[in-house]
Amino acid sequence: MASQMIVNSEQGSIVDVPGLQVGHFTLSQRLTGCSVVLAPDGAVGAVDVRGAAPGTRETDLLDPANLVDKVHAVLLSGGSAFGLDAASGVVRWLDEHGIGFETGYGRVPIVPAAVLFDLPVVRPGEDPKARPGPDAGYAACEAASRKTPDAGNVGAGAGACVGKLFGLDRCMKGGIGNASVRVGPWVVGALVACNAVGDVIDPATGQVLAGARTADGLSLLDTQRALLKGERGHRPLPGTNTTIGVVATNATLTKAQAKRLAMSAHDGLARSIRPAHTTLDGDTLFAMATGTESSQADLMLLTAMAAEATALATVDAIRHAQSIQSVTGPVPAANHLAA
C-alpha cells in the first residue's frame, strides 16, 4: 500500500524534527524581533533565494561546492539590514556553549541569517530606531526549546505586514508561523516569517486570507486580480517586503540534496502568496537536515513535503497574526477583517 502524506493534525512545527530547537525574542521598544532555529549537533544546511532584494548573511558557504557542510543555527530577523547584527549574538551564545565547526584552533559557530523589512511598523510611543541586535539574538537562543514555537506577532514576524502594493495604509498584519508534515519515518517542518508584498492565499480553497484592502479598508482587494485588470498602486521600494523561513527534515541529506529541499520549499510560497518572488521581495528559504533518520532518503517525497509544510506555515502565520494600531493607522489581521 502506498504511503500517504499526513499533515500533523495539530499543525505541528519545525521542532517536530529531532535535533532542533526554536526561540523567539520580541523587542519591548518596538514591534520587531528575531527567531532562531538551533541545531546543537549541527545540521546539513542549504539556502535558496528567489526574491530580488534579499538581506542575508553566510549564504555563500551553503553552496554545495563549498567546504562547510553543517550549520549550527539559522537566524530570521526583522529590522532590515540592521537585524543581521542579531546573528552575532547567536554566534556568541553558541561559542559559550562550545558549539561550532572545529578548526583546530577552536570551534567556530556557523550561523546563516536572513532579514525582513519591518521598519515602517511603529506603534504610538514606540522607538522607531529600535532594531534587533546581538543581545536580541542571544536572548532568542536563551529562549530556545523543543516546545512548539509561538506564532503570529512574535520574533521575526512581530512587525511583518502583507499586501503592501497599494500602500501601507491598505496592508494587513503578517507574522511568523509553523507546520510539519510526516510520511513514514520522515518528518519535514517549516518556520516562516511572512512579510510579503503580495496577498496570502489558502492553497486548499484559493481564498485570499490577508493582503491589500479596498480603498475603504473594509474588504480584501485581491492584489493579483487587480494587477491583471491594470490597476496600479503606490509602488513600494524594493526590499521593503520579503518572506523568510527555514524548512527542516530528519532525513540524512547531502548539501546538494538539502539545496533541492530549499528550492522546492519555494513552491509552497508560490502556492500561498500571490504574487510571490517579486522584484520587491527578498524571499529566502534555508534548509536544515539533522540526519537523525538514517534510511535512504526519498528526495521526491521530501521535496513535496517541504512545499506542503512551507505553504501551511505561511498560512499559519496569517491565522495567528493580531491586529495592531501603527502611527500610520490601523493594520488589521485576517481574523479581525473576517469579523
DSSP 169-232: GG-EE-EEEEEEEEETTEEEEEEEEE--SSEEE-TTT--EEE-PBPTTSSSB--HHHHHHTT--
Closest to 48 measured CA to CA, from 292, 320, 271, 256: 256
CA angle in degrees (0–180, nearest 5) for 271-76-264:
30
- Output the pLDDT for position 135: 98
Which cell goes with 309? Answer: 509544510
- Output the pLDDT for position 337: 73
Contact criterion met (CB below 8 Å) for 74 and 288: yes
Name the pTM for this structure. Answer: 0.94
- Output the pLDDT for position 238: 65
- Written as tens digits, the pLDDT of the chain (339 aa) is 233 433 443 689 999 999 999 999 999 999 999 999 999 999 999 999 998 889 999 999 999 999 888 999 999 999 999 999 999 999 999 999 999 999 999 999 999 999 999 999 999 999 999 999 999 999 999 999 999 999 999 999 999 999 998 988 999 999 999 999 999 999 999 999 999 999 999 999 999 999 999 999 889 999 999 989 988 776 666 667 899 999 999 999 999 999 999 999 999 999 999 999 988 889 999 999 999 999 999 999 999 999 999 999 999 999 999 999 999 889 999 988 754
Contact criterion met (CB below 8 Å) for 22 and 189: no
- Output the pLDDT for position 236: 64
Tell me the C-alpha to C-alpha distance, in Å, between residue 299 and each of 81, 169, 225, 260, 303: 34, 43, 35, 8, 6
- Output the pLDDT for position 335: 87
**Residue found by looking up cell 532542533 in the block:** 20
In degrees rounded to 5, what are phi and psi of residue 283? -50, 120
In degrees rounded to 5, what are phi and psi of residue 138? -65, -45
Three-class secondary structure of residue 53 per DSSP: coil
Contact criterion met (CB below 8 Å) for 132 and 85: yes
Distance between CA 37 and CA 301 in Å, rounded? 23
Closest to 149 measured CA to CA, from 267, 272, 242, 36: 36
For residue 162, list its beta bridge partners.
172
- Output the pLDDT for position 9: 38
Closest to 26 measured CA to CA, from 127, 123, 141, 155: 155
Domain 6-338 carries which CATH code? 3.60.70.12
Report domain extents, the chain. 6-338
What's the chain's length in residues?
339
Q: How many CB atoms lie within 10 A of CB 182?
A: 18
